């Protein structure tokens, strides 16, 4: 006898903007797995109760988005090592009534970037921004073997605190935004990653000169709306290599799909185009 369809969802507040139903829906279709994936708006006041309700209803798990990523960590019965280091969870997996918190953002970031680096691990990286997204990027860079990281933020005290908290196998130096702009004019860096919300649609774009950057520099913006941010356009004009941020969103979903539905899936051009069209990016 075939079992009931497997059930998963993305939970956030608000949730209408989430692309996760499109991504998981694409893979449910391509694998032929009998499953459902929905978007649920959970209010912060009732988040824990609402999650437990899904466990009781037999869900396999959920993806978690803003503003619940820290609350998700707090309610879990077990926490994997990556989620613990990042201090947030984007994936809750339900097994035998227990909730396991994972974080696949660091994985998604590196999977998106690594093919463009052709196996090279940058000796040094400049990370712009010290918010939630920076946490996953700092963990991923260290796990990949980057040992020298400069972390720049508008509020430099926040960069200092994050550097102190997350420095593990790398040395992380905290800088102000202005000092980072001066660094980009002075020194050719192998990798620059923007994790800040600057450059997002409706926000102040990053327009610094980057005078010392060359074809040796890889620039990755994890902002994906717009796909071509001012930072990436400027970097390309200087001859730098660039990677946009949409792939991180797509790749972070792969381990979650496998956990919820048991299927191994890949990020292909068809999926990327579907999400780009749905978001009005092309």
Q: Is the sign of the CA dihedral 8, 41, 200, 107 positive or negative?
A: negative
| Binding pattern for the stretch 168-187 against ligand ATR, x by CB under 6 A and - elsewhere | ---------x----------
C-alpha dihedral over 191, 140, 132, 282, to 10 degrees?
Answer: 60
CA distance 62 to 100: 10
- Would you say 63 and 9 are in contact if contact means Cβ atoms under 8 Å apart? yes
- 104 burial level (CB within 10 Å; 0-12, 13-18, 19+): buried
Question: Backbone phi, then psi, for 203, in 5-degree steps?
Answer: -110, 165
In terms of CB distance, is 20 or 60 closer to ligand ATR?
A: 20
Q: Does 234 bind ligand ATR (CB under 6 A)?
A: no
Q: Does 204 bind ligand ATR (CB under 6 A)?
A: yes
Q: What number of helices (H) and strands (E) belong to the chain? A: 11, 12
Clarify whether 69 is annotated catalytic.
yes
CA distance 173 to 148: 8
In terms of CB distance, is 178 or 187 closer to ligand ATR?
A: 178
Q: Does 205 bind ligand ATR (CB under 6 A)?
A: no
Nearest to 67 by CA among 11, 9, 133: 11
Q: DSSP label at 226? A: S
Side-chain half-sphere of 135: how many Cα atoms within 13 Å? Answer: 19
In terms of CB distance, is 56 or 185 closer to ligand ATR?
A: 185
Least gap, CB of 160 to ligand ATR (angstroms)? 11
The residue from 7, 69, 98, 201 that is catalytic is 69
Of the chain, the end-to-end C-alpha distance in Å amounts to: 44
Q: Does 154 bind ligand ATR (CB under 6 A)?
A: yes
- 157 burial level (CB within 10 Å; 0-12, 13-18, 19+): exposed
Judged by CB under 6 A, the stretch of 70-78, 92-100, 105-113, 152-160 that binds ligand ATR is 152-160
Judged by CB under 6 A, the stretch of 17-25, 53-61, 125-133, 235-243 that binds ligand ATR is 125-133
Q: Does 99 bind ligand ATR (CB under 6 A)?
A: no
Q: Which residue is nearest to ligand ATR (CB)?
A: 131
> Of these, 153, 217, 229, 252, which contacts ligand ATR (CB under 6 A)?
153
In terms of CB distance, is 28 or 127 closer to ligand ATR?
A: 127
| Binding pattern for the stretch 26-65 against ligand ATR, x by CB under 6 A and - elsewhere | ----------------------------------------
Judged by CB under 6 A, the stretch of 79-87, 97-105, 108-116, 190-198 that binds ligand ATR is 190-198
Residue ranges binding ligand ATR (CB under 6 A)? 129-134, 153-155, 158, 177, 195-198, 204
Q: Residues with catalytic annotation?
A: 69
């Amino acid at each position: 006898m075939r079992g009931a369809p497997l059930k998963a969802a993305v939970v956030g507040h608000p949730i209408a903007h989430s692309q996760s139903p499109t991504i998981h829906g694409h893979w449910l279709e391509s694998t032929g797995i009998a499953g459902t994936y929905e978007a649920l708006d959970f209010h912060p006041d009732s988040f824990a109760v609402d999650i437990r309700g899904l466990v009781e209803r037999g869900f396999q798990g959920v993806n978690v988005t803003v503003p619940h990523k820290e609350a998700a960590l707090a309610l879990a019965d077990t926490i994997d090592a990556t989620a613990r280091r990042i201090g947030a969870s984007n994936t809750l997996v339900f097994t035998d009534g227990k909730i396991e918190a994972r974080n696949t953002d660091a994985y998604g970031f590196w999977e998106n970037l690594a093919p463009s680096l052709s196996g090279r691990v940058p000796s040094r990286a400049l990370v712009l921004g010290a918010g939630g997204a920076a946490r996953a990027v700092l963990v991923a860079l260290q796990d990949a073997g980057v040992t020298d990281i400069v972390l720049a933020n508008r509020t430099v005290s926040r960069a200092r605190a994050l550097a102190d908290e997350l420095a593990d196998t790398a040395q992380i130096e905290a800088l102000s935004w202005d000092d980072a702009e001066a660094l980009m004019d002075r020194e050719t860096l192998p990798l620059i990653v923007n994790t800040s919300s600057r450059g997002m649609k409706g926000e102040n774009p990053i327009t610094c000169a980057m005078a010392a950057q060359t074809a040796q520099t890889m620039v990755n913006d994890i902002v994906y709306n717009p796909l071509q941010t001012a930072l990436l356009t400027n970097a390309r004009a200087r001859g730098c290599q660039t990677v946009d941020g949409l792939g991180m969103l797509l790749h972070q979903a792969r381990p979650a799909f496998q956990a919820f539905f048991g299927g191994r899936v890949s990020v292909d051009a068809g999926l990327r185009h579907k999400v780009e069209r749905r978001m009005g990016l092309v």
